[in-house]
Amino acid sequence: MKANMAARFRLYPSQVQAERLTAWSHTCRAVWNIALAQRIWAYKSAQRATVRSVEQCSGLTEARKEHAWLRDLPAQCAQQVLRQLDTAYDNFWNPTHPAGFPQFKRKYHRQGVTFPGQAVQVRKVSRRMAQVKLPKLGWVWFRLSRQLGGAVRNATVSRDGLGWHISFGIHQPEPAQRPVNTGAAVGLDVGIACSVFVSDEGTERQRPDTLTPGERARLRGLEQRKARQLKYAKKHNGGKYSNRLRKTIAAIAAVKARQARRRTDWNHKLTTDLAKNHGLIAVEDLKVSNMLRSAKGTAEKPGRNVKQKSGLNRSIADQGWFEIRRQLGYKTKRCGGELVAVPASGSSQTCSKCLTHDPESREGCGRLFACVHCGHTEHADRNAAHIILARAFSAAGRKPTTVWEAGTAASGRGSSQSTRSPHGQGTRTGSRLREPSSNVTAAWQRGIARRQAGEDVKAPEPDQPQVASISWSAFCSCSVTVRS
């Protein structure tokens, strides 16, 4: 039985347990780096030999007899690292998976130790507290914020800027009969100025700012202090970090971890609400990784507007477009719904009334859509949400004449949601994403002038469906270098 869901809890280890978990996380990193170096060496020097975890586990057993730092780590944890490396290689060789080649981990890479399910025990102590028994560590307290709800298949202990956490991989049995969600179909348009716009709602769902003004000022001050301390360390200490610099880095990590937690919380509340109340959710098939590429170019061909593009990349990453789609993927299946990804080309420039595509209907990056052919005016993101829903119906074989008939008229929802921020919060003052200077009348008159001049009107775009023997001792002999 494989884990089909995960649950994350706050872990409260003692000081001795925390120090040992930190040492184990560095050992796991060293095992990853050594195993990856072995595989690269075998592929390059042994006629492209492929090494898997089965061969490396036998060598790992021999290395544990020679090195005390490797022997202190539970054997199951080291074996889990090798299996994770197998998965990384499988994802790299899978043409449909976006993963790249496995990389070496640095010292302050995400710290974590993974235990198999049969090696851990969980017991409930009170209504909100429980304990987990880990090999060579004993019972460790964690906050039981929700019930596990299934059999534990694995457990991963990790650390971020706010402390230690434990994530359980849980297997929940599939229901005998798959639920069917009879909710209305909606289109979902994600953006930056407007976080999310649902086609059957009159207002956007705007995510609140993830940092308060005081926290934002504190983060700016900490980053400036870090820059000064780094400059001093390079000039006077040969680049060696001081204790004060490490404290500054830890304080920055705590602020950013709190920001990431708030962002994840809002995304989960949004996707859960949508998956429970809608039978079909249509989203754009966005290639977010391609959209986040830098525009700096090369030395021969430098890019243009690099700073503006980097700011746009940060805003896209902050909104979490890919994470919203990923969460909707498994939550709609769990709730009996369906997620449909449609092509994103031209959705913001196509009218939801006459289905005519014209770039002049959407000037700049304003929030107003004014069709120059039929005169229809609407919030630009809501119009795009209707177009996304229409394309989803077309891909399913249903072609409504207008999106209004398919989406808005079929749904009775439109009330305020818990994921929408209060009025005035979460807005970006001074943004260039505001209303265009031209009004609706001017746009309508331009369309009339084009038709009188005999210019061709663009028709709506058609919808597109969518081994060698390797000694561990030779690599572990430089354990000081690998673990530092």
Tokens of 296: 């700096």
Tokens of 203: 């207002």
Marked catalytic residue, from 189, 200, 201, 204:
189
Marked catalytic residue, from 55, 200, 204, 381:
381
- Helix, strand, coil % in the chain, rounded to nearest 5: 45, 15, 40
Which residues of 106-249 form beta strands (DSSP E)?
111-116, 121-124, 129-134, 138-143, 151-160, 163-171, 184-190, 196-198
CA distance 225 to 236: 16
CA distance 214 to 224: 15
Tokens of 78: 């080291």
CA distance 111 to 104: 14
Marked catalytic residue, from 200, 201, 204, 284:
284
Sort strands 278-284 and 338-342 into parallel, antiparallel or unpaired.
parallel
| Residue found by looking up tokens 């434990």 in the block | 166
Please state, in angstroms and as integers, the Cα–Cα distance from residue 415 to each residue in 40, 272, 278, 320, 426, following that order.
57, 16, 14, 24, 19
Is the Cα dihedral 12, 13, 19, 22 positive or negative? negative
- The answer to whether residue 463 is catalytic is no
Helical spans, DSSP H, in 189-287 = 213-236, 243-277
- The answer to whether residue 284 is catalytic is yes
Which residues of 304-361 form beta strands (DSSP E)?
338-342
142-170: burial string, b at 16+ Cβ within 10 Å, e else: bebeeebebebbbbbbbbbbeebbbbbbb
Using DSSP's 3-state secondary structure scheme, residue 302 falls into strand
Q: Are 6 and 169 in contact (CB under 8 A)?
A: yes
Among 172, 404, 418, smallest CA distance to 276 is for 418
Tokens of 467: 């081994």
Q: Are 118 and 154 in contact (CB under 8 A)?
A: no
CA distance 85 to 438: 56
- The answer to whether residue 338 is catalytic is no
Catalytic residues: 189, 284, 381
